[in-house]
Amino acid sequence: MDVQGFPSDLLTVDLGASSVTLRVDPATYSLDALYGAAYIFIDRCFVLLDKPDASYRVTLAWKKREPTTDELRALVGEFANELLSCAWRAKISEDSRALIESVTAQALGGAMGPPTLEELEKFDFSDETFEDPLGIAMSWEEKHRKKAQPDDANPVDGAKVTEATATREKP
């Protein structure tokens, strides 16, 4: 069944299962964007992600039985808009990272104020490793050696490390 406004090669509808399935191009929409959009819908739909070939496949199954065609159209339209929104937001965040971090740091710093003596007493000043998402504490050698040897143990986590490294490298 065709849904008005959507290319039939990208969208299929299964009225019996109350679901729609979209094909998503990974070249246009990153996995993060896909996750971001999918997550928004898990309260209303059963969301199933798959990767039958080079594309992603998203199935949104209405939790209620027998949605109308209009409801399904609205659902898939909203998903497509959210997917675009997530993809674009990721790009904006990458391009404007310095500005966003600066404003956020000032906002939170202004609200927090300086630490109290009690808080400083509890702070761990030891040499133990700590979370360093921006890689500030990494030496140049460590950083560049890590970039040349991505971690393939877990494809999902490996992808995250590569992405994080790539954003750290951006001037």
Partner 1 sequence: MTELRLHRELYQAAALEQALGLFAPHGTFVRKEEPSHWVVEITARTLERERRIAGELGNYALGLTVKGRKR
Partner 2 sequence: MNLVQLRNRSTTFAMPFRHRQVDGKVLITNTEGNFLLMSQEDFARFAEGAVPKESELYRRLAERNFVRAELDTRKMAERLRARKTFLHAGPNLHIAVVTLRCNETCVYCHASRADMSATHTDMSKETAARVVDLVFESTNPSVTIEFQGGEPLVNFDVVKHIIEVAREKNKTAGKGLEFTMVSNLSLMDEEKLAYLVDNRVQICTSIDGPEHLHDKQRKLPGLSAHQKATYWIRRINDAYAKMGLDPTLYHVEALLTTTRETLPRWKEVVDTYADLGCRALFLRPVDPFGFADRTAPRVEYPRLEYLEFYRSAVDYILELNKRGVEILERFAAIFLTKILGGQDPNFLDIRSPCGAGIGQIAYNYDGKVFTCDEGRMLHEMGDSTFLIGNVSPSAETTARSNYREMMTHETVRALAIASNLDAQPDCVNCTYQPYCGVCPVHNHKTQGSIFGRMRESSLCMVHKGIQDYLFSKIGGGDLETLEILRRWTTVRDRTHFLQTCAT
**Site residues (vs partner 2, CB under 8 A):** 36, 39-41, 43-44, 78, 81-82, 85, 88-89, 92-93, 96, 99-100, 103-104, 106-108, 110-113, 115-116, 119
> For residue 23, how many other CB atoms are within 10 A of its CB?
16
| Smallest separation (angstroms) from partner 2 to the CB of 145 | 31
Does residue 46 touch partner 1 according to CB under 8 A? yes
Collapsed DSSP state (helix, strand, coil) of residue 99: helix
Q: 45: which strand partners?
A: 62
Residue 15 touches which of partner 2, partner 1, none (Cβ within 5-8 Å per kind): none
Dihedral pair phi/psi, residue 94, rounded to 5°: -65, -45
Nearer to partner 2 among residue 81 and residue 154 (C-beta): 81
Give whichever of 49 and 92 is closer to partner 1, judged by the CB atom. Answer: 49
CB under 5 to 8 A by kind: which of partner 2, partner 1, none does 104 bind?
partner 2
If contact means CB under 5 to 8 A according to the sort of partner, which of partner 2, partner 1, none does residue 49 touch?
A: partner 1
- The partner in contact with residue 69, picked from partner 1, partner 2, none with C-beta cut-offs of 5 to 8 angstroms by kind, is none
What are the residues whose beta carbons fall under 8 Å from the beta carbon of 75, sequence distance 6 or more?
20, 41, 44, 45, 60, 62, 67
Give whole-number Cα distances, 81 to 6, 12, 54, 84, 151, in Å.
Answer: 13, 17, 22, 5, 33
H/E stretch holding 20:
strand 19-24
Structural tokens at position 100: 């966003």
Instruction: For residue 39, state whether it binds partner 1 (rule: CB under 8 A).
Output: yes
Q: Which residues bind partner 1 (CB under 8 A)?
A: 31-32, 35-36, 38-39, 42, 46-51, 56, 61, 63, 154-157, 160
